[in-house]
Structure 1
Amino acid sequence: MPGYKAHAAGAVVLGAGTLAAVNWMEWYTPDPLTALMLMGFVVLGSLFPDVDTDSVGQKLFYTILAIINLTFMVLGHYKWAAVLGFCAMLPVVARHRGWIHTWWAMFAVPMIIFIIPIIFYDIPWKSLLPFYFASVFGYFTHLLFDRKFV
């Protein structure tokens, strides 16, 4: 089982390669800031399945979320801070290697993050779709490196 460094590094390599490929094929060409944010979602997605254990990966994940959440609050984006806070609680309702380490959770957990802004804040789903795919892709890399698909 790889640690947080391997999961994060693998996600960066595979995520950057995939982003470069879809950009080169002209399927999706994000601006540099959006590309950077998408890579952040890939890395967070790759760390998420292990946040239910006391680990360095868990501390890194929640440190990043705390910084993002504080930024949302300082900027007055309380609705986004609420979504992030809700999603941060999800791992507490699981046991390690339980439902969080399944293929269906790879789609379901990011879907929660995707659907909440659409329902509650009237955000167009098309604008959030790349971030959903980035989160699922990062999650996929975690399960791949944990050999859940082998």
Structure 2
Amino acid sequence: MAGYKGHILGALIVTGLYLVALATLFTVDEAYRQFSQMEMVGWGTVLMGVGLMFGLWPDVDTNSKGQNLFYWLFFLTDVALIVGDHFREAAYLGLFCILPALGKHRGWTHTTWAMLLIPSPLLLVPMLLFHDTEPMAGLPLYGAAVAGYFSHLLVDGLIVPLPWKRRGARGW
């Protein structure tokens, strides 16, 4: 099993490949017409950050650095929602936060369906909020999240068997 450093490295590589693919599909001329240089750097940084966070997410079901990071983010977000009188949203976030505790380590958080489902709010919320103007605004974020999540499952040997995951072999 890889530690958080192995998962961060895996997320850097896979999310980096995703960003290269995104840059290849989204031509430079088109990008310069739509964004300033600062916005392009900012978007790349945000997408890499999302990929790194979701590279750690599957281990939120166990005592880990990822769990510490996410629970602090959830706590701060919940406080902000409560202060802003968004009690229903705070309740939903609280419900979402306890879900990983309902399973065992390497349970549902380490599945391909969770890899596609857990990041889906990044895709669906912009669709609901901006359905008239930019319904696909969340697609790059969703792609980065899935890339990061995929990297975690890949490094854990759950996508394809890895040689260092053999019984008795030393890995990361």
Normalising by the smaller structure, the TM-score range is 0.7 to 0.9
2-side partners of 1:63 and 1:113: how far apart? 19
Larger Rg: 2
Paired residue secondary structure (2:136): helix
The normalised TM-score by structure 2 is: 0.68
Query: Out of 15, 38, 49, which is 2:58 matched to?
Result: 49
Superposed, which structure 2 residues align to 1:23-38 within 5 Å?
23-26=23-26, 29=31, 31-38=40-47
1:122 is aligned with what amino acid? L
Alignment check: 8 A CA contact 1:87 1:113 kept: no
Larger relative helix fraction: 1
Query: Out of 140, 144, 149, which is 1:134 matched to?
Result: 144
2-side partners of 1:84 and 1:123: how far apart? 22
Superposed, which structure 2 residues align to 1:39-78 within 5 Å?
39-66=48-75, 69=77
Alignment check: 8 A CA contact 2:60 2:67 kept: yes
Give the paired residue count: 146
1:53 deviates by: 0.3
2:137 is aligned with what amino acid? S
Tell me which residue corresponds to 1:114. 123
Paired residue secondary structure (1:96): coil
1:26 deviates by: 3.0
2-side partners of 1:36 and 1:145: how far apart? 23
Structure 1 unaligned runs (5+)?
none
2:119 is aligned with what amino acid? P
Structure 2 unaligned runs (5+)?
32-38, 161-172
1-side partners of 2:20 and 2:85: how far apart? 31
Moved more, 13-22 or 38-47: 13-22
The normalised TM-score by structure 1 is: 0.76
1:94 deviates by: 2.4
- RMSD of equivalent CA atoms: 3.1
